[in-house]
Amino acid sequence: MAVDFYQINDLERLSGVKAHTIRIWEKRYELITPHRTDTNIRYYDDKQLVKLLNVATLSSVGFRISKIAAMTDDELKSQLSLSQQREKSDLKFEFYVNDFIGAMIEFDEVAFNKLFDTIIAEYGVEKALVSIVYPFLHKIGILWRIDQSMPVQEHFASMLIKRKLYTLISQLPTPTKSKKFLLFLPANEWHEVGLLFAEYIIRNNGFPTINLGQNVPFIDIEYTINKTEPNYLLAFLINNTNEEYVLKVQQLLSSKFKKVDCLIAGNSLKFKLFEGLKNIKLLYSPNDILKVF
């Protein structure tokens, strides 16, 4: 699929607006008009997606769709800015998430970085990460894991966030608490953003980390546990984790390293591979990491 090519189910997942509603808005208010391929398949481009995100945001804070449809693009942007300043936190979080999606779609590094710095200044690092950056990653991650859409934009956004997280982690004071966390991505896992996200939260709460990064062979996990004696092991299972590898980790922890608590995050569809392991905790959100401390 081309980058600038979205089907209506893509718009539904990113905007939160049902496909049926999008079609009604098209016909009744001409908010966006789909393109058609040579074989008459409907599709949408980047500008249409961004406009739908903006329309959905204003609609969520009480603007009637007929009023939104009558706005020029400049009026729409002006109302978004005013509404974002007025709204309470939960709705403002949604504004920021959609702003991040828009900047990502347009490959706008300046806007993306400005947004990141704005939310850090407004909410502090941990709250900004948990309440805005994580929902942004979750929202776009569902789409990419299922449909494999927009890999180029995913990489763009991931790289920008990784740069920010590396900087934020390096600015933290040296951890002083005794319990250690060993972090890694299993073999054939490359999506490092979640791992860095978790590392910031752990170190910000005073605990030391040993981060082995991406695509770590099983033998290196066993060696590092023997060498460093961590209290916790944290792994992310997202896309390509081999079931045999996971079972090896299971056996290692349940037989040889029973005192090491294993924390598993990522794609919950992979969690079934850890059923029956006593020293296991499944992390469904960043708040679950905080409950470990």
> Where residue 252 sits, what CATH number does that domain have?
3.40.50.280
> Mind listing the pLDDT tens digit for each residue in 36-60?
888 888 889 888 988 998 898 888 8
Identify the weakest region by mean pLDDT among 112-121, 142-151, 178-187. Answer: 142-151
Task: Look at residue 280 in the predicted model and tell me its pLDDT.
Answer: 82
The answer to whether residue 3 is domain-embedded is no
Domain endpoint, select from 120, 147, 168: 168
Statement to judge: residues 186 and 41 lie in one domain: no
Q: What is the mean pLDDT of the chain?
A: 85
Better-scored residue on pLDDT, 7 or 117? 117
Tokens of residue 114, six digits: 């400005």
> Mind listing the pLDDT tens digit for each residue in 219-254?
898 899 999 999 999 988 776 556 777 777 777 777
Average pLDDT on 15-39 reads: 90
Task: Look at residue 154 in the predicted model and tell me its pLDDT.
Answer: 79
The answer to whether residue 2 is domain-embedded is no
Average pLDDT on 7-28 reads: 89
The CATH number for 34's domain is: 1.10.1660.10
Task: Look at residue 50 in the predicted model and tell me its pLDDT.
Answer: 87
Q: SS3 of 280, please?
A: strand
Domain endpoint, select from 168, 187, 213: 168
Domain that residue 78 falls in = 8-168
Task: Look at residue 228 in the predicted model and tell me its pLDDT.
Answer: 94
Q: Which of 143-147, 210-214, 259-263, 273-277 has the highest mean pLDDT?
A: 210-214
Statement to judge: residues 284 and 212 lie in one domain: yes
Task: Look at residue 47 in the predicted model and tell me its pLDDT.
Answer: 87
pLDDT tier at 211, thresholds 50, 70, 90: very high
Statement to judge: residues 24 and 147 lie in one domain: yes
pTM value > 0.75: yes
The answer to whether residue 21 is domain-embedded is yes
* Mode of pairing for the β-strands spanning 209-211 and 181-184: parallel
Q: SS3 of 174, please?
A: coil
Task: Look at residue 232 in the predicted model and tell me its pLDDT.
Answer: 94
**Could you give the C-alpha distances from 163 to 65, 103, 168, in angstroms and in order?**
38, 16, 9
Distance CA 71, CA 195 (A): 42
- Is the pLDDT at 173 greater than 80, yes or no? yes
